[in-house]
Structure 1
Amino acid sequence: MIRPHRAHPLWLAFLLHRISGLGLALFLPAHFYVLSLALTRPASLDGFLHWTENPLLKVSEFGLVFLLAVHMFGGLRLLALEFLPWSPRQKTFAAAAAVASAFIASIFFISAVA
């Protein structure tokens, strides 16, 4: 049974912000490892960059940029909650942040595939 507060759009925004933060935190060690390849093993980096041409990775890049955009807009939403007066339009702002996140990730995906 879903608790009533968990069906609220702002609770879903809270959950999405936490999940996106967790996803980014899991991605960062892999990202730093790949960056270290540029300094320690350039030949391995070249092989990895060739592997990144895989279409499945292009789709995963969309997901990564989506997580980053969601997390950024979720952080802006939290700053608004902290520093701006509460308003009934908060649901609209949260929905707009989700739409903007999807839009930014889609633009990145289209440019990566093209």
Structure 2
Amino acid sequence: MIRPHRSHPLWIAYLLHRLSGLGLALFLPVHFHVLAFALNQPERLDGFLRFADNPLVKLAEFGLVFLLAVHVFGGLRLLALEFLPWSPRQKTLAASAVAAAFLVAGTFFLQAV
């Protein structure tokens, strides 16, 4: 049984914001670990950078940038909810935020390939 509030489009925006935050939180320790290679084990960093040239890694980078953009625009949506009056246009703005996130991530992806 689907709860009525979960069929609301802004619930999907809420869910995307939480999932993107979780994805970024899982990514950051890995990112810092790889950055530590530059300081302590430059040969391992070189190996990782060769691995990062893989097209699947580039696709994963697209996903990461998409998560970041979704999270940023979702945060802006939450700030708007907190500080701006409620309006019927918020569904459109939430959809626009996801579209903008996809545009940002897509632009990054096209430059990375």
TM exceeding 0.5: yes
- % of aligned pairs identical? 72
| 1:111 partner letter | Q
Divergent runs of 4+, >2 A: none
| 2:78 partner letter | L
3-state SS of the aligned residue for 1:6? helix
1:79 alignment counterpart: 79
3-state SS of the aligned residue for 1:77? helix
| 1:3 partner letter | R
RMSD of aligned Cα (Å): 0.6
Taking the TM superposition and a 5 Å limit, the aligned residue runs for 1:39-58 are 39-58=39-58
Indicate yes or no: 2:111 matched with 1:111.
yes
Q: Which whole-Å CA distance do the structure 2 matches of 1:70 and 1:7 have between them?
A: 20
1:69 alignment counterpart: 69
Q: Give 5+ residue unaligned stretches, structure 1.
A: none
Q: Which whole-Å CA distance do the structure 1 matches of 2:98 and 2:79 have between them?
A: 16
TM-score, length basis structure 2: 0.98
Q: Give 5+ residue unaligned stretches, structure 2.
A: none
Q: Which whole-Å CA distance do the structure 2 matches of 1:47 and 1:94 have between them?
A: 40
Number of aligned positions between the proteins: 113
Give 1:3 deviation, angstroms: 1.3
1:11 alignment counterpart: 11
Q: Which whole-Å CA distance do the structure 1 matches of 2:108 and 2:58 have between them?
A: 10
Q: Which whole-Å CA distance do the structure 2 matches of 1:81 and 1:15 have between them?
A: 16
